[in-house]
Each structure stands twice: as C-alpha cells, then as structure tokens.
Amino acid sequence: MAGLYIHIPFCRQKCHYCNFYTVISQRYRKQFISALKHELELQKNYLENQQVNTIYFGGGTPSMLSTNEIISLIDTVSLNYNVNSDVEITLEANPDDLSSDYLRQIKNETPINRFSLGVQSFYDDDLAYLNRIHNGKHARNAIYEALKLGFNNLTIDLIYGIPTLTNEKWKTNLQTFFDFGLPHLSSYALTVEPKTNLQVLIDKQKIAPTLEDQTVDHFEILLEQTEKKGFIHYEISNFALPGYYSKHNSIYWLGGHYVGVGPSAHSFNGKTRQWNVKSMKQYCEAQIIDQIVLEKEQLTTEQQYNEYVMTSLRTSWGCDTEHIYNVFGEKYARFFTEKVEQYIRKNQIQQVKSIYKLTHAGKLFADGIAAGLFHDF
Ligand SMILES: C[S@@+](CC[C@H](N)C(=O)[O-])C[C@H]1O[C@@H](n2cnc3c(N)ncnc32)[C@H](O)[C@@H]1O
Ligand code: SF4
C-alpha cells in the first residue's frame, strides 16, 4: 500500500501563518505542469512497483488547477505507476475556488473522489487575522455546493487558538461543521512558525499574540464535541466517522511508503527519505532527478525508531512494543518500556498488552511526550 503526493505551490495570496512552499506568480505555470509530468516519469521506480492506493494533490492551492491540468497529471500517473482501480484521489481546495461550475467540471471530467477544504473558520474576523482570501460565506457556499453535487467524501480544516476566536465562536464553528453532516475534520492549533508574517506582526505588536491557555481550552472543546458526535480521534489533528479515515494520511502515520513530486515534496520508501528542491525555477529547469532531489538520506535505525514513536503515538492505533522489538531490536524495546513508565505513572499514557496510547491528559502534551521517548545515544 503506497501513496503519491503532488505538490501544487500556487496560492492567490500568502496567509500570515503559513510556511509551506508556495508562490503567487503564475509565470512558470505551463512549464511547471510539464516538469511535474517529467518528474512523475523520473520517479516511477521509487515505489518499486508497489500498488498506489492514494493520490493526493496538496498545496499551495491545487484547486487553482484546471480540470485539463488535473486530468493530464492523473493520466501520467496511470501510465507510469501501478494504480489501484479503487484509488482515493484527494484535491485540497480553497473555498473561493469552489464555484458550482468548477465543482461540476471536476465531477464530470476527473476521477477526483475526495475534497479537503481549507475553511479554517466560518467567521470573517478570524479569517482576516489569518490573512485568508476567502470569507465565511465563501466557506459555507463551497461546502453546500460540493454536497449538492454528491461529493460526500469531504473533509474540512479548522484552525483553533486564533486570538479572535472565543470559546463560543469555536463551539459554533464546530457546530456548523456538524450541521453540514461531513464525515471528516482536520483541526490544527494555530502555530506561530518562525519567519512567517504572523511572527513578524506579533513581534511588532501589530496583532494579538496566540495564548496557550486559550489553545488548550479549544483543544478540550474539540475533543469533547467530536466525541459526543461519534467521531473517532484517529490522529492528534484528525477526526472521522467510521469508514472515512484519510487513506492517504494514514499511509504517512502507519509508516507506509509514498512518493512526492513537485517543489518541496518529500518521499519515503522504507530505506530512504528525500526532499525536493524548494524553488519553482530550479524545479522547472531540472532535467534529471539529482537536480530535483535536493537531499537524500539513508535513515539510521535510531531515526526510524524516533519517527515511529513520534507518528504512532499521535494515532489511535498507538505505539506497539512488539513492532519496536521486531523492527528495531531488543535494545530499543527495552529503552522504550523503561522510559514510558514515567508517563504511565502521570496517567498520560495507557498500556494494553504491547500497545501504548496517549490518554486524554497525554494528548495535550503529545509532542513533549514523544520527545521524551526518543533515543539519542
Ligand atoms: C498548507 S495548507 C494547504 C491547503 C490549502 N491551501 C489551505 O490553506 O487550506 C494545509 C493546512 O495546513 C494548515 N496550516 C498551515 N500552516 C499552519 C500553522 N502555522 N498553524 C496551523 N495550521 C496551519 C492550513 O491552514 C491548512 O489547513
Ligand atoms: S492558502 Fe494554504 S498553502 Fe496557501 S498560503 Fe494559505 S495556508 Fe498556505
């Protein structure tokens, strides 16, 4: 089971908080689509003919692509990879792009069968704080139109911990999500990434800073409300009704293999991890794989163990010491069981046989706990 990620870096404007690789200029648009197809061909052996079960158009803003561009990319994938006939194909979309005409074209002309919609908030003042280009009405309309056309496998992203987002507004955002009857939610705490506009504006006291207490309150509300509505908290930022887990993201979280094409995209095939160059110009001009792939590293056992602990602890499947023993060896299994005791005593991790999972209290400190279990002799 493998996944394929296609990075579309175009955005209409840069959101204050975002540090993903994005470009506003459309100067390289045509060359870029050709370069992506070229890279898809160059990377075709990376997955060693494993079946591709998921294709994910991520961004940036993949909904800026025309249906012809989407079709030509999917055709190139089909020609070069062993694609499952039941493949999940997700398109990340921004609400201002999802007109009923565009959605109808996607429905009639492409095999896209899942949308991930970057709503972030249904309130205009929160969206203005984030410097999003859309407003709350765009967000509601986009969901409404997508559902009307029968796109039921629809997920939205909501951000919490925005200083303008009171607890009451956060509850209403969640209620709006529930009222639409959607089967999946990704919800992230607003993170002030270094060198973003958000950091600069907060440092200059031009906008309100994020507050940890508020973020914790919002996370508690999120866990409580989604649980009440029957959502499974299957990854620290992801909630789904049964049968609607993101197949693509589950590949990342379960240590599966994936190839990523496009500037800044990552790939992992169990043995190596590689990163593509973060430059549209260099990416479009590169003719050979060595110029596209900026860095390639052979993972040490220690790195693989640390990654497994980090990702598995964030999921509802948990971290399995049998897996640690079988894959990384007895030394790592012993190390883990000794280190994890302190978190069990604090009721932050619970153990059932060989499986260790974060408790409700532990979920608030997921990253710190994982770091405490890292091996770094
Ligand atoms: C990089 S975006 C790409 C998809 C689309 N362009 C969008 O904005 O929704 C993927 C998700 O990551 C979230 N994200 C990016 N940076 C973040 C940050 N610093 N804090 C919280 N969420 C963030 C975005 O809001 C979005 O929901
Ligand atoms: S639209 Fe998405 S990818 Fe583009 S800048 Fe905003 S958050 Fe980043």
pLDDT at residue 34 greater than cutoff 90: yes
For the segment 180-202, what is each residue's pLDDT rounded down to a tens digit? 999 999 999 999 999 999 999 99
Residue 97 C-alpha to ligand 2 middle, in angstroms? Answer: 13
CB atoms within 10 A of CB 376: 6
Residue 208 C-alpha to ligand 2 middle, in angstroms? Answer: 20
pTM of the predicted protein model: 0.96
Q: Is the CB of 94 under 6 A from ligand 1?
A: yes
For the segment 224-254, what is each residue's pLDDT rounded down to a tens digit? 999 999 999 999 999 999 999 999 999 999 9
Q: Is the CB of 311 under 6 A from ligand 1?
A: no
DSSP state of 209: P
Residue 167 near residue 218, CB atoms below 8 Å: yes
Preceding peptide of 60 cis, ω within 30°: yes
CA nearest ligand 1 atom 21, residue: 190
Cα separation, 163 vs 349, in Å, equals: 30
pLDDT at 377: 58
Token reading at 260: 């990523």
User: What's the whole-number mean pLDDT along residues 58-74?
Assistant: 98
Angle between helices 330-345 and 321-328 (to 10 degrees): 150
Q: What ranges in 206-320 are assigned the alpha helix state H?
A: 212-228, 247-253, 280-285, 289-292, 301-313
Q: What ligand 1 atom has the least distance to the C-alpha of 132?
A: 8
| Nearest ligand (C-alpha, residue 23) | 2
Same fold, 2-252 and 301-372: no
Q: Is the CB of 118 under 6 A from ligand 1?
A: yes
CA nearest ligand 2 atom 3, residue: 60
User: What's the whole-number mean pLDDT along residues 321-328?
Assistant: 96
Using a pLDDT cut of 90, give the percent of the chain over it.
94
pLDDT at 121: 98
- The closest of 316, 324, 306, 308 to 371, measured between CA atoms, is 306
How distant is the alpha carbon of residue 252 from its chain centre?
9
Spell out the CATH class of 2-252.
Answer: alpha beta
- Which sequence spans correspond to the domains of the chain? 2-252, 301-372
pLDDT at residue 330 greater than cutoff 80: yes
Three-state DSSP state, 301: helix
Q: Which fold has domain 301-372?
A: Arc Repressor Mutant, subunit A (1.10.10)
